[in-house]
């Protein structure tokens, strides 16, 4: 699982997650950054920068693999940052997120005093508590470390909480849940994951995934049609030819979407779709999101003939 990218998305979308971990009210105005300290080529995974110099700067690191030189690097990065940006904060706090205690390095020397001081907060995701009781932001974190067998049930629970609780940016949370499951179940498509999370067909149609897929296919086909029309020059005139070509493009969009879902189409089916009128093509483009088998496409065509 590519957790660096995943946790970056989580902190960027829901910066209050860090403060939920620390058990404090979310301060206003903080921004999350990934900071490169160019003088030494250090890159800090997460820096929560206060809105004014009187605030606390928070350094956050996600560490899922044991690294017995981790604290050496982490504190070196922190103190270099403190020297370079001292005018932007009044105090500092460090947070390290582990999946469990076994991922932490064995020896803390010579940084034991810092590790055990109030400056550093160590969090173990498997000790946070139950998904039902945790704030949604922390439950998302815990979802990343669940065994594969538990993840579908847990993901559905969090998806349902996202629908029913008054949470900020529910679309972003649902996208994060989907991404976490995709990282674990790499053999599943995004559509399969969304259905696993309990999305209805109507909800699927409203997801960014479906909008993006349709827009992507539409743009691909229209670009091809425009190029073909411009090359042919069509005797009816360029503008008229382009309009006709784009109408044909709607049919190609539907055919391409059907192939993405069901594979190669029977020749007879493709021919029937090509004979549909523009209003029928538009109706089919809407209806195909409901189809789970080719037989439903044939049934729709029978009803629409």
pLDDT of residue 100: 93
pLDDT of residue 301: 86
Domain definitions of the chain by residue range? 1-127, 132-199, 208-304
pLDDT of residue 284: 80
pLDDT of residue 105: 92
**What is 1-127's CATH topology?**
Trna Endonuclease; Chain: A, domain 1 (3.40.1350)
pLDDT of residue 123: 94
pLDDT of residue 219: 57
Q: Which residues of 100-113 are buried (b: 16+ CB within 10 A; e: fewer)?
A: eeebbeeeeeebee
pLDDT of residue 223: 56
Task: Give mean pLDDT in consecutive 10-residue pieces for the chain, a chain of 305 residues.
Answer: 71 86 87 68 78 94 91 91 92 95 91 93 93 90 89 88 84 83 76 73 54 54 50 47 52 77 81 82 74 82 81
Q: In this structure, what token pair is assigned to residue 14?
A: 């829901």
């Amino acid at each position: 699982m590519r957790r660096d990218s995943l946790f970056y998305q989580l902190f960027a979308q829901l910066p209050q997650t860090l403060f939920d971990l620390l058990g404090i009210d979310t301060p206003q105005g903080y921004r999350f950054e990934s900071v490169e300290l160019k003088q030494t080529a250090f890159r800090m995974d997460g820096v929560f920068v206060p809105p004014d110099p009187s605030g606390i700067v928070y350094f956050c690191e996600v560490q899922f693999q044991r690294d017995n030189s981790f604290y050496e690097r982490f504190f070196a990065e922190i103190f270099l940052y403190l020297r370079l940006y001292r005018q932007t904060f009044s105090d500092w706090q460090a947070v390290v997120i582990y999946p469990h205690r076994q991922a932490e390095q064995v020896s803390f020397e010579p940084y034991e005093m810092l590790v055990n001081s109030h400056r550093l907060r160590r969090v173990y995701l498997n000790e946070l508590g139950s998904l039902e009781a945790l704030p949604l932001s922390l439950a998302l974190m815990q979802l990343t470390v669940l065994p594969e067998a538990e993840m579908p049930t847990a993901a559905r629970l969090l998806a349902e909480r996202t629908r029913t609780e008054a949470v900020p940016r529910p679309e972003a949370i649902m996208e994060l849940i989907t991404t976490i499951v995709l990282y674990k179940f790499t053999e599943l498509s995004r559509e399969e994951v969304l259905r696993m999370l309990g999305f209805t067909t109507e909800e699927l149609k409203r997801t960014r995934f479906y909008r993006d897929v349709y827009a992507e296919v539409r743009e691909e086909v229209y670009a091809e049609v425009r190029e073909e029309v411009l090359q042919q020059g069509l005797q009816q005139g360029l503008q008229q030819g382009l309009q006709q070509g784009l109408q044909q493009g709607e049919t190609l969009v539907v055919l391409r979407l059907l192939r993405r879902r069901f594979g190669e189409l029977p020749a007879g089916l493709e021919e029937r779709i090509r004979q549909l009128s523009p209003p029928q093509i538009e109706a089919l483009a809407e209806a195909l999101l409901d189809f789970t088998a080719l037989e439903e496409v044939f049934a729709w065509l029978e009803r629409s003939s």
